Amino acid sequence: MPLLFSYGSLQQEGVQLATFGRRLAGSADALVGFAQAIVQSEDPEFAATSGKTHHPIVRFSDNAEDRVQGTVFEVSEAELVDADAYEADACKRIVATLASGAQAWILLPTPIFR
């Protein structure tokens, strides 16, 4: 099964239930070579689901010492699509290597890719 790394709201039980219809089991891990920032969401559906108007994003930092803490979840292919839909058009999914050595999907803001 695919791995999905979350550094934000997908770690919340309510968001998981609304997005996947179940609570996800996961373990702590870290994203290497990325830095985290907080941005305001322009999506009212995101705010309604997460209960937050601001959310974290990550960006490449080119510094192997940088770490973003989060949780890695085992999900199905269909749940990856659900995660994409939850993030809407604001993110693109890529594979990254975590501190544990695991390869996991992460969601990055799309302006990085423009």
Mean pLDDT for the stretch of residues 87-99: 85
Q: What are phi and psi of 25, to 5 degrees?
A: -95, 135
* pLDDT tens profile 24-38: 999 999 999 999 877
Write out the two tokens for 78: 């269909």
pLDDT of residue 111: 62
- DSSP for residue 24: P
- Mean pLDDT, residues 60-81: 94
**pTM (predicted TM-score):** 0.81
Q: Which of 29, 10, 8, 5 is nearest to 20 (CA)?
A: 10
Alpha-helix runs per DSSP H in the chain: 13-20, 44-50, 77-87
Task: Answer whether residue 52 shows pLDDT above 80.
Answer: no
Residue 113 has what pLDDT? 40
Asked if 24 and 75 count as a contact pair (C-beta separation under 8 A), the reply is yes
Q: What's the pLDDT at 86?
A: 83
The overall average pLDDT reported for the chain is 86
On the CB side of 68, CA atoms within 13 Å amount to 25
The region of weakest confidence among 19-23, 42-46, 67-71, 94-98 is: 42-46
